[in-house]
Amino acid sequence: MEVLVLPTPAEVARRAAEVVVDGLVGAGRPEPVLGLATGSSPLGLYAELANAVAAGRLDLTHARGFALDEYVGLTPGHPQSYREVLLREVCAPLGLPPERLHVPDGSGVDEAALVAGAAAYERLLEGAGGVDVQILGIGANGHLGFNEPGSALSSRTRVKRLSDRTRADNARFFDGTEEVPTHCVTQGLGTVLDARRLLLVASGVAKAEAVAAALEGPLSASCPASVLQWHADAVAVLDEDAARLLRNRHYYDASAAGLAERHTRSSKAW
């Protein structure tokens, strides 16, 4: 795992965008697949990717985007449904055609319909050849996607109950906690691990404990984001506040400096 600590959230966004561009271009696929997270963490990164598109360094016209998760039970077109958020934050500014955006189906009227929709999403993802770069945020409780603590490390896309903590954290997007759906459909941790590259972005002191547990704690369902440690190409891009509880900071900085030197010499982007 590579851990890159930058002074500010703006620098986190810029560096993370380089990691995404490098991963998508490096995949060399005619229809690369970008895994999309929602929430606050990736917003700066999406803005930087929009700059890369405008500068001609990235073209998502033939790409596909696959969302990590979706709420269950919101009315179609609800502004806080993740489909609508991604249409606003990704499709429009980055030029990803809306019909190439895929989001788990949270509209099923009963459990059987939701389960069938989740299985169909897995098939769609597989048919697209899997995710080249998966963008990830982390919950303050260590969740990844909406895999709450206790989620099976090998889980696939399925219906999950949201924890009270997550509903309270996400109440800022709704008119209070009561309005936040109780359930979601989320890619499983096994699904996330199938992506060829994982990119975690985190900023702010509220994420420091979860980041330390994920990157340096035991690999454990109690901290779902700790599955990053299991992946062969995982990159965490953090600001100083999110990184403040990391014990091995000196090593990460030394490794990152060495990498930057090596990549400059070989004229790679990062």
Contact set with ligand F6R (CB under 6 A): 37-41, 68-69, 137-139, 143-146
Which residue in the list 70, 89, 105, 143 is annotated as catalytic? 143
Which residue in the list 148, 169, 239, 240 is annotated as catalytic? 148
Which residue in the list 105, 141, 239, 240 is annotated as catalytic? 141
Q: In terms of CB distance, is 26 or 217 closer to ligand F6R?
A: 217
Nearest-approach distance from CB 235 to ligand F6R, in angstroms = 16
Q: In terms of CB distance, is 41 or 155 closer to ligand F6R?
A: 41
Nearest-approach distance from CB 69 to ligand F6R, in angstroms = 5
Q: In terms of CB distance, is 140 or 259 closer to ligand F6R?
A: 140
Distant-in-sequence contacts of 5-11, Cβ < 8 A, 24+ apart: 5/238, 5/239, 5/240, 5/243, 5/246, 5/249, 5/252, 5/253, 5/256, 6/237, 6/238, 6/239, 6/240, 7/239, 7/240, 8/239, 8/240, 9/44, 9/203, 9/204, 9/239, 10/44, 11/239
Question: What count of other Cβ atoms lies within 10 Å of the Cβ of residue 204?
Answer: 16
Question: What count of other Cβ atoms lies within 10 Å of the Cβ of residue 219?
Answer: 12
Nearest-approach distance from CB 67 to ligand F6R, in angstroms = 7
Nearest-approach distance from CB 39 to ligand F6R, in angstroms = 3
Nearest-approach distance from CB 227 to ligand F6R, in angstroms = 13
Which residue in the list 69, 105, 132, 239 is annotated as catalytic? 69
Active site residue 233: no
Residue 162 is given by DSSP the state P
Burial class, 69, CB count within 10 angstroms (exposed 0-12 / middle 13-18 / buried 19+):
buried
Residue 130 is which amino acid? G
Active site residue 209: no
Q: In terms of CB distance, is 128 or 211 closer to ligand F6R?
A: 211
**CA–CA dist 267, 102 (Å, integer):** 34
Active site residue 148: yes
Active site residue 141: yes
- Residues 9 and 203 sit within 8 Å (Cβ to Cβ): yes
Q: In terms of CB distance, is 62 or 141 closer to ligand F6R?
A: 141
Active site residues: 69, 141, 143, 148
